[in-house]
Amino acid sequence: AAVAVAGQIAFVGLIVPHLVRLAGVREHRPLLLLSALAGAVFLAGADLLQIVLCRDQLAPGVVMSLLGGPFFVALLWRERRSIALW
């Protein structure tokens, strides 16, 4: 629902904090700062990937959906599996 209201670029705000937590950051202050930095790098990387792979101009949200969709499916699958094992 958040992506539907805020748009595709806000999808970065949903993906990146999970990635930073998976990298091992647990405290809130470093998580906030590293999430902001990693979000900027992630969006710039998605835009660069779009430029390299497709000569036509695509919206960055298209690349973000292609990268973020499988990530969230994997995250949900992992959480479901850990709950089933618990």
What pLDDT shows up at residue 28? 93
What pLDDT shows up at residue 73? 86
Give yes or no for a contact between 60 and 39, defined as CB atoms under 8 angstroms apart: no
| pLDDT (average), residues 57-64 | 75
The tokens for 12 are: 């970065």
End-to-end CA distance of the chain: 29
Can you tell me which residue has the tokens 């960055």? Answer: 60
Q: Give domain limits for the chain.
A: 2-85
Give yes or no for a contact between 10 and 2, defined as CB atoms under 8 angstroms apart: yes
Give yes or no for a contact between 8 and 60, defined as CB atoms under 8 angstroms apart: yes
pLDDT digits (tens, 9 = 90+) for 9-59: 777 888 889 889 989 999 999 999 999 999 999 888 888 888 888 877 777
